[in-house]
Structure 1
């Protein structure tokens, strides 16, 4: 049995779900998300307590157990996201590093020979406060992907720690070169 997959996804008030074929539509106060189900997974709506229950065709098969837990967690993320958007915070560390938000475009000045323009996709909101960019979306996968793409523009380097990093990320630092001593 999948430990994660067998837990029901509890639905709070204000969250509505529609199950149609291999699609589950989750609606909430912040928006609507659609989760596509894998071929071997089924979802049923339980009434008391109000929850979604995920099942698979072959619970003893290793692949189906993995799909079971994954599907349940994707549904949980959708239910959580339509209630409270997911956020990722990125910090710009470096002298002269600047970031500006103009409409739906982030302009990054991160020590390259040119400025980098990054347009935000529909569904992702950004907020800039000094050296910290806050990305928010109801879709956890989308906000994580956009944050990773922004970080990839100038990843933090291990000597001085300059670059774009997640706020809670710890950069492992390396020692620089040491001077030879005359003997």
Structure 2
């Protein structure tokens, strides 16, 4: 039994939810999101609470159960409060700036990198060494942050690269003479 899947999802105030078969629509103050639940799960909206149940007791149905419940809960959280991820650039000459709708990065390569912001994701650079990614879809925000971080992941010797603001970089000792 899924401990996560068993929990009901309370609908926050100011959010309207519409369950139509396998499709769940949520509209809130920040925007609107839609999620299509796998056919191995059933969704029900009763008394301002959403419950997700597996169709049968098979392994694939139980696997989709908790994931579907979490995706719906993240959707409701996203339309009330935006998700944000903060990235930090560590290294001499590493900088980021917005050029129109694209993020321009100087990461020590022979060329600068332009990263276009995906739909539904806002990118801001309050400082040249800080990138703030925000949006209502948790998956899109996390994916954009991971793609930007992958352009120059932090290295363990000096810690240079792009890292999450709350990430700890395990340092290694360098060569000894």
**Counterpart-to-counterpart distance in 2, 1:63 and 1:168:** 34
Question: Contact conserved, 2:25 with 2:35, CA < 8 A, in 1?
Answer: yes
Task: Report what 1:129 is aligned to.
Answer: 126
Give the match for residue 136 of structure 2. Answer: 138
Unaligned runs of 5+ in 1: none
**Which residue in 2 is equivalent to 1:4?**
4
CA deviation after TM superposition for structure 1 residue 113, in Å = 0.6
Hey, what does 1:23 align to over in structure 2? Answer: 23
> Which of 170, 173, 176 is the equivalent residue of 1:172?
170
* Cα offsets for 1:31-76 (capped at 9, x unmatched): 01111111111111111xx111111111x33322221111000000
Structure 2 CA distance for aligned equivalents of residues 78 and 138 of structure 1: 8
Task: Name 2:36's counterpart in structure 1.
Answer: 36
State the alpha-carbon separation in 1 of the partners of residues 41 and 100 from structure 2: 41
Asked whether the equivalents of residues 40 and 60 of structure 2 are also in contact (C-alpha less than 8 Å), the reply is no
Residue of structure 2 in register with 1:82 after alignment: 79
How far residue 168 of structure 1 moved from its aligned partner, in angstroms, is 0.7
TM-score by length of 2: 0.96
Deviation at 1:172? 1.1
Matches within 5 A, 1:52-131: 52-58=50-56, 60-130=57-127, 131=129
Q: Distance in 2 between matches of 1:104 and 1:6?
A: 42
Give me the whole-angstrom Cα distance separating, in 2, the residues matched to 1:21 and 1:103. 41
Aligned residues between the structures = 176
Larger deviation, residues 18-27 vs 131-140: 18-27
> Moved runs in structure 1, 4+ residues, more than 6 A?
none
Distance 2:130 2:36 in 1: 34
Question: Which shifted more, 150-159 or 62-71?
Answer: 62-71
CA RMSD between the two structures: 0.9
